[in-house]
Structure 1
Amino acid sequence: MRVLVFGHGYSAGFLTPLLVAEGWQVAGTTRGDTARVAAAGAEPLLWPGDEGAVRQEIAAADAILVSVGPDGGADPVLAAFGAEIGRARPRWLGYLSTTGVYGDHGGGWVDEDTPLTPSTRRGRERVAAEQGWQRLAAEHGLPLHIFRLAGIYGPGRGPFAKLRAGTARRIVKPGQIFSRIHAEDIARVLLASIKAPCPGAVYNVCDDDPAPPEAVIGHAAALLGLPLPPAEDFATAEMTPMARSFYAESKRVTNTRIKRQLGVALRYPDYRAGLVALARAEGLI
């Protein structure tokens, strides 16, 4: 059994060990960090670069995961290898998207059937990419699964380093709500789907507790016994356009479908459980 991961980055680094433990062979594309891919247990494939080897893996793969975002509005995997994937017809095809496709809902709840009304360029590009994969799946009978990921955190992506350095910021925008997901839980959702394909399925991948961003920083500071960073008003805070854009949308994302259809029990059902685990792993508490 073989899996090909396009864009073997942070999230795939948690999935590959789970697959290898169950007897899967994994290959993953990278722009150059072959050592990181190999350390996770996957065979590194340079792309761009070694397109011939990538095509061979497409033909041999039982499952293909696409973890590459749009590039300048176009989906690079579709553009380069859509025809080959269509001919190969793997038994499972996954695309990692984002909950940004839903747009702003003023803190209200969204599920997988909520109309897609993104308000950012990134969100619009992801909607276009989802539609492109859905067209390819319809044309070739591919078992496509779309995973809309909330904000990803995990080892190396927590708030502790900035808190300890005194550079963490507590930006406050009234009514702002984000959903999150621990990288380990992303991997467990993907594995469950690979084991039980449901062609055409769309899944929100998030935890149980959408929360304001300042609450997460506050809890992390309390865990370490550090002072709470001062509140900064979003309206006047100095931020890059990219950072500010993340506050353009506020919503609560439901994860009922991954529980009911895939039987997933989250290891980190809220940011509090996730932060405690990270702090313990880093020897901070």
Structure 2
Amino acid sequence: MNPAVKPPDQVFIVGCGDIGTRVARLWLAEDVPVTGLARHGDRLTAADIPAYPADLDDPTTLTDLPVEQALIYYFAPPPPRGQNDPRMTRFLQAVDQQGRRPARMVYISTSGVYGDRQGGIVTEQAEPNPQVDRARRRYAAEQTLREWGQKHAVPVIVLRVGGIYGPGRLPIKRLREQVPMIHEALAPQTNRIHAADLAAICVAAARRGTPGAIYNVSDGNDSNMTQYFNTVADFLGLPRPPLIDMDAARQTLSEGMLSYLGESRRMDTSRLRKELGIELQYPTLQIGLEATCQHDRDEVRETSRRRGL
């Protein structure tokens, strides 16, 4: 396990949604001041997190950023189109204009930067090969941030994260509508992490992450996409999705889902566990569902009762 750095003077979270709010609460519990950048600050105010309202698409709003010697988490997604992330560029330009330097930056990227590995195991040393634009945007943001960090001597840590699940993140609508899924024998290998474990990993990365390092993030369990939907359906008490072959999938499923079905990989998380000393609270999907998603299940049951199902 790497030695821990001293606690940050302050934390600034860019893109303070579900994961950002979870991370903020962990630092606030240690009496570290936290500010969250969000387009609309109402949600942060309701969560007792000081808000910095700003729009990453409007550089005129990115003034007086609280970045001096701050630990910065960058969780904001790229724009929905293109192969680059101009939002990351605008944010770093705004930091440059202020002439202030953060103490450290942590960026959430995606396992999609590895592309299709045909179910093989992927370590952080694997050459990135993003094959769809959503992954190309994330990889472009990684490169932009890491180059900026090297230029300004700011430690940057990148987390390449698999699918995130947890309360409010389950595919309830899809399962209710009985959207098909491919047969399990055809389903790609996938990687998942509970939202609470991801938040804890974000804190550990700031404390113990090696400057310049990349960490694969998942719970380390082998599974595939069809298993995921079946497990969630069983937990919620909903019918499992009907199964189809790939020819039917190409005629039925969305372009976005087809892009996920076209990639299969298993991420090696040895570095995460060794350097950050991670012990997952929810090491399997079933444990995570049973421990944290009871409210989702209760809502599904109540809705079904009202509909007479």
Does residue 85 (structure 1) correspond to residue 92 (structure 2)? The answer is no
CA contact (8 A) 2:55 2:61 kept: no
- Counterpart residue type for residue 13 of structure 1: T
CA contact (8 A) 2:187 2:261 kept: no
Q: Which whole-Å deviations, capped at 9, do the CAs of 1:117-175 have from their partners, x for residues lacking one?
A: 11111222222211111110111101100011111111111134654x35354333615
The Cα shift of 1:283 comes to 5.6
Q: Which whole-Å deviations, capped at 9, do the CAs of 1:190-244 have from their partners, x for residues lacking one?
A: 1112223421111111112131111122222333444433212233131221221
1:131-280 matches, within 5 Å, as 131-160=143-172, 162-163=174-175, 165-167=176-178, 169-172=180-183, 174-237=186-249, 238-280=252-294
* Structure-1 residue corresponding to 2:134: 122
CA change 1:51–1:175 in 2 (3 A) is closer
CA RMSD after TM alignment: 2.4
CA contact (8 A) 2:39 2:53 kept: yes
CA change 1:52–1:197 in 2 (3 A) is farther
Q: Secondary structure at the match of 1:235?
A: helix
Q: In 2, distance between residues paired with 1:137 and 1:21?
A: 28
CA change 1:201–1:40 in 2 (3 A) is farther
* Structure-2 residue corresponding to 1:43: 50
Q: Secondary structure at the match of 2:190?
A: coil
Does residue 16 (structure 1) correspond to residue 27 (structure 2)? The answer is no
CA contact (8 A) 1:106 1:175 kept: no
* Structure-2 residue corresponding to 1:5: 13
Q: In 2, distance between residues paired with 1:175 and 1:52?
A: 46
Does residue 66 (structure 1) correspond to residue 95 (structure 2)? The answer is no
Alignment counterpart, residue 57 of structure 1, candidates 62, 65, 82: 65
- Counterpart residue type for residue 123 of structure 1: A
The Cα shift of 1:260 comes to 0.7
What TM-score, normalized to structure 2?
A: 0.83
Q: In 1, distance between residues paired with 2:49 and 2:276?
A: 25
- Counterpart residue type for residue 79 of structure 1: T
What TM-score, normalized to structure 1?
A: 0.89
- Counterpart residue type for residue 122 of structure 1: R
The Cα shift of 1:61 comes to 4.8
CA contact (8 A) 1:45 1:54 kept: no
Q: Between 257-266 and 214-223, report the one with greater CA deviation.
A: 214-223
Q: Between 90-99 and 167-176, report the one with greater CA deviation.
A: 167-176
Percent sequence identity over aligned pairs: 32
The Cα shift of 1:109 comes to 0.5
Q: Which runs of 5+ in 2 are unaligned?
A: 1-8, 302-309
The Cα shift of 1:40 comes to 3.1
The Cα shift of 1:179 comes to 0.5
Aligned residue pairs, count? 283
Q: In 1, distance between residues paired with 2:91 and 2:241?
A: 47
CA change 1:127–1:162 in 2 (3 A) is closer
CA contact (8 A) 1:181 1:207 kept: yes
* Structure-2 residue corresponding to 1:29: 37
